[in-house]
Homo-oligomer: A and B are copies of this chain.
Amino acid sequence: MKKKLSIVDIANALNVSKTTISFILNGRAQEKRISGDLVEKVMKYVAEVGYKPNSLAKSLRTGKSNTIGLMVEDISNPFFASIARLIEDRAYKNGYKIIYCSTDNDTQKTQDLINMFRDRHVDGYIMAPPEGIEEDIESLINDGMPVVLFDRHLPGVKTDFIEVDNLFSTFNATKHLLDQGFKNIAFVTFKSHQTQMVDRIRGYQDAMKSNGLKPTIIKEIVFNQDEEQIMAPLRDFFKGNPDVDAILFGTNHIGTCGLKIMQELGKKAPTDIAIISFDDYDVFKLHSPPVTAIAQPVEEIADNVITVLLEKLNNLSVSEKPQSIILKTDLKIRNSSVKIG
């Protein structure tokens, strides 16, 4: 177990002060008038022995950790997993590491995680915030930490966020169902007061009303890690509402559970019930017949998130007006929502 080299070892080996080594390694040689000869000698030796500065020590001194904290609802959800993946790539390319975790939409857990991130001196935060976390986020912002929210935002909190046009997306999807001749359209989703969910429900309601229909069939299910806790109420809903002819699901997860229940009950889409789900992914594409879905622009979201955060990390432009970026979704119309007969 060879001991790791420190800057002192380098300094001693070359008979130079560690200050000089530090300046050279940080590209401040010119500014500090270190001779080209010495710079070359040091660089060569450093490369030769493979010396790398200890980043803990560096972080302790400078206060920067080159780490970004990423908090999503659930990293095993394909929507969040693919965004995490894209963010990871861009972050690494820019010299940042990612520490991530899943909040489970649990306020207490999220608070603990924020404390942990804080404690670890992450340089910036990216999060899909749960409810009730406003104060903690504000406190972060007051302490000068860059925070970028995505997928949803916190109404009172002044910070940048990236999300999609949820209201229009479900409005448009509901319209699509109405245009196909469906009337008893239900909206099934997770129970939540988060902005994205409120907007999705509103979109559904607005579309129904604009067609003179009552948007009354709304089923909200409590978020739970254990899938059976979601399946049970969903099953009840299907059994209790036999006259529903179309369902709009609020997220990919609940949409997938819905498909499972339909499989269980032997119901076919779209002949028995037409289906549209928020968040497109392979399950919907490959379902036969394929399921119409509201596709979020995952790459664009990830790109915008990391771009905004990097801007904040680089400019120290503290108090520019926060950006709100609203992206468009794409209603992928597949034949499952065509009314037959």
Q: Show the binding face of A for B, using Cβ within 8 Å.
A: 1-2, 52, 54-57, 59-60, 65, 74-76, 78, 81-82, 84-85, 88-89, 92, 97-102, 115-116, 119-121, 142-144, 256, 259-260, 263, 282-283, 285-288, 290
Contacts and interface: CB of A to CB of B under 8 A. Distances in A.
Given A85-B102, A101-B92, A260-B285, A142 B1 contact: yes
Nearest to A252: B282
Contacts of A119: 52, 54-55
Contacts of A85: 74-76, 102
Nearest to A56: B60
Contacts of A99: 97-99
A84 B92 contact: no
A238 to B, nearest CB: 16
Contacts of A84: 75-76
A256 B97 contact: no
Given A260-B286, A286-B287, 17 more contacts: A1-B143, A52-B115, A54-B119, A55-B119, A56-B56, A56-B121, A75-B75, A75-B84, A88-B100, A89-B102, A98-B101, A256-B282, A260-B285, A263-B290, A283-B286, A287-B287, A288-B288
